[in-house]
Structure 1
Amino acid sequence: MKLNLQDIPRVRGISKEEFQEKYFIPQKPVVFEDLSADWPATQKWNFDYFRKKVGDVVVPLYNGEPAKAGEKSHAPSAEMKFGKYVDILQKGPTDLRMFFFNLLQNSPDLVDDFRYPENLGVKFFKRLPVLFVGGQGAKVVMHYDMDLANNFHFNFVGEKRILLFPPEETKYLYKVPYSIVSMEIIDMDNPDFNKYPALKKAKGFEVKLKHGEALYIPSKWWHFIKYETASLSLTLRSLPKSPGKILEVLNNLIIMRNYDAVMRKWKGQKWIDYKNEQAIKNTHNSAKLNKDEQ
């Protein structure tokens, strides 16, 4: 059995009116096949180019291992120069990933290689254009973004598989309490439906994003990413404006994240085990699974 997934719509030459009406306002994902066609980045950005531009910048790297008891939930597993990391990527499969590499802080001239697609009628947060890089086979746990941004994810190197689930499917996704992630032990690329039967009820979307393509990920949509090959992508963000979402963002950043950090430090593995147990219990209750299905 496989996850219940459908293809994400694809568009070319879309107008502001059509994007707003069909995708942005109703909060639906879409793949842009030509949104960055005339950007210098589409022609220039590859691993050798970044080795030359920022090869000496030391970057934090993350692997696929869940954080251990007492560790911060987002602590890097290694640090090295970007150039050395590129060497590793080009040698073959690796689960090492780099995320939220801020171009403005590390190489401001790279900003000249792209343009904000303001013709879509979207106001972007221009202080945070960020790169995401990963090796072949690397995976990103199912999650939604803590700042509830609308994300425009442009892929320039390689290919990645992305799964998306809307917020209303949260009840089937084994959300971990006091976090914005699903259970890290679940491999959404090959889920175990015997252990996690609620996933059979989840309805989502998938896409294989290739060079030059961009994916619109609406606010609070869950996403899982698998790097089919070594890949480099740029995300441009549009922050939420509604009072309700702004309050939720503040709660996520100030209260929830700090509370979880304190409990991890105080309770260690017991806190992690408790949250995972609650994730299963809450999901099975919300999904209304009977005892035979659990």
Structure 2
Amino acid sequence: MKLNLEKIPREKTLSKQEFLRKYFKPQKPVVIESFIDDWPAYSKWNLDYMKLIAGEKTVPLYDDRPVKHDEGFNEPHAKMKMCDYIDLLKSRPTKYRIFLWNVLKEVPELQKDFKYPDFGISLMKGLPMLFFGGSDSHTFMHYDIDLANIFHFHFEGRKQCILFPQSETKFLYKIPHSLITREDIDFTNPDLEKWPALEHAKGHIAHLEHGHVLYIPEGYWHHMKYISPGFSMSLRAIARKPKNFGKAVYNILVMRHFDNLMRRAQGQKWIDWKNDQAIIRTQKKIHSNVA
């Protein structure tokens, strides 16, 4: 059996009014295929261009190794010059990814290549982030700490995106006091005998190509897999629903610091306990849901 995933709707383009009515207000994801054709980035941005303009920058790299108690929040697993990293991406599959790489801070001239679109909601203009990955590299299933509305612009290559709304959290084996699910779940080909709760989860799937924009509603879980080497840029807007905004404040001011404190106090025992609890709590919720 496979996950219960429906294809995300696709639109050639959308007016501000159409986007707000059809997708933002009901909080539904959408892929917009031809929204940024007039950006200089549409014709300029590819891996070779990034190598040319940012090749001497040292970039943080992440892979899919499990979280360890002695690693800080978003601490990179390696570092490399961008030129060497792009050579690696183009030469062979690699698990190394770049994420949350601030365009304005690292390469300000890239800002000339895009504009902040008017979707009818205010975007956070200091946080345009780039994400890079090689063939078959992927993120863990997670949601963002601020539960933001995300506009994900993809460049070069193909990327598979699997999304779940917060309503499906009870089926996803969420790790307590964190923003991720069990790291040993392969969401592209899950073992449903080992993870039976996933059969009940209802999600969404889309494949992105160069120039496509994916709208991810606030707080949505997302799993990104690079089918081929490429990169994306995310623009974001704060959570508008009071419940989600409250969760964002709690995550930033309380949850993150509590988790770091417990890692220092209990070490790997804390990580192991959380992984066990993800299974125990999900099983309890399934049994109560079925009953």
- CA-to-partner distance for each residue in 1:85-107, whole Å, 9 max, x for gaps? 11110101000000111011011
Q: What is residue 57 of structure 2 aligned with on the other side?
A: 57
Q: Please state if 1:86 is matched with 2:86.
A: yes
- CA-to-partner distance for each residue in 1:85-140, whole Å, 9 max, x for gaps? 1111010100000011101101111011111111x212100001110001111010
| Contact in 2 for aligned 1:35/1:117 (Cα 8 Å) | no
The CA deviation at 1:243 is 4.3
Q: What is residue 231 of structure 1 aligned with on the other side?
A: 230
Q: What is residue 132 of structure 1 aligned with on the other side?
A: 131
Q: What is residue 95 of structure 2 aligned with on the other side?
A: 95
Secondary structure of residue in 2 paired with 1:287: helix
| Contact in 1 for aligned 2:160/2:224 (Cα 8 Å) | yes
The CA deviation at 1:67 is 2.1
Q: What is residue 122 of structure 1 aligned with on the other side?
A: 121
Q: How does 1:149-160 map onto structure 2 within 5 Å?
A: 149-160=148-159
Q: Mean alpha-carbon deviation: is it higher for 144-153 or for 11-20?
A: 11-20
The CA deviation at 1:75 is 1.8
Secondary structure of residue in 2 paired with 1:233: strand
C-alpha separation between the residues in 2 aligned to 1:170 and 1:245? 14
The CA deviation at 1:18 is 1.4
The CA deviation at 1:142 is 0.3
Percentage of identical aligned residues:
48
Q: What is residue 111 of structure 1 aligned with on the other side?
A: 111
- CA-to-partner distance for each residue in 1:230-263, whole Å, 9 max, x for gaps? 1111111111245443332221012101111111
- Structure 1 pair 289–227 and aligned structure 2 pair: CA distance change class (3 A): farther
- CA-to-partner distance for each residue in 1:21-43, whole Å, 9 max, x for gaps? 11001110000001111111110
Unaligned residue ranges in structure 2 (runs of 5+): none
C-alpha separation between the residues in 2 aligned to 1:264 and 1:169? 27
C-alpha separation between the residues in 2 aligned to 1:198 and 1:245? 24
- CA-to-partner distance for each residue in 1:148-171, whole Å, 9 max, x for gaps? 110000001111101001111111
The CA deviation at 1:73 is 4.7
The CA deviation at 1:69 is 3.2
The CA deviation at 1:65 is 0.3
Q: What is residue 22 of structure 1 aligned with on the other side?
A: 22
Q: Please state if 1:177 is matched with 2:176.
A: yes
C-alpha separation between the residues in 1 aligned to 2:224 and 2:241? 28
The CA deviation at 1:15 is 1.6
- CA-to-partner distance for each residue in 1:38-61, whole Å, 9 max, x for gaps? 111110001111111111111110
Aligned residues: 290
C-alpha separation between the residues in 1 aligned to 2:165 and 2:244? 16
Unaligned residue ranges in structure 1 (runs of 5+): none
TM-score where L is the length of structure 1: 0.95
C-alpha separation between the residues in 1 aligned to 2:263 and 2:60? 22
Amino acid at match of 1:83: C
C-alpha separation between the residues in 2 aligned to 1:112 and 1:32? 22
C-alpha separation between the residues in 2 aligned to 1:260 and 1:90? 37
Amino acid at match of 1:149: A
Q: Please state if 1:191 is matched with 2:190.
A: yes
C-alpha separation between the residues in 2 aligned to 1:183 and 1:146? 17
Q: What is residue 6 of structure 1 aligned with on the other side?
A: 6
Amino acid at match of 2:49: Y
Secondary structure of residue in 2 paired with 1:27: coil
- CA-to-partner distance for each residue in 1:56-86, whole Å, 9 max, x for gaps? 1111100110122322252211011111111
The CA deviation at 1:16 is 1.5
Q: What is residue 45 of structure 2 aligned with on the other side?
A: 45
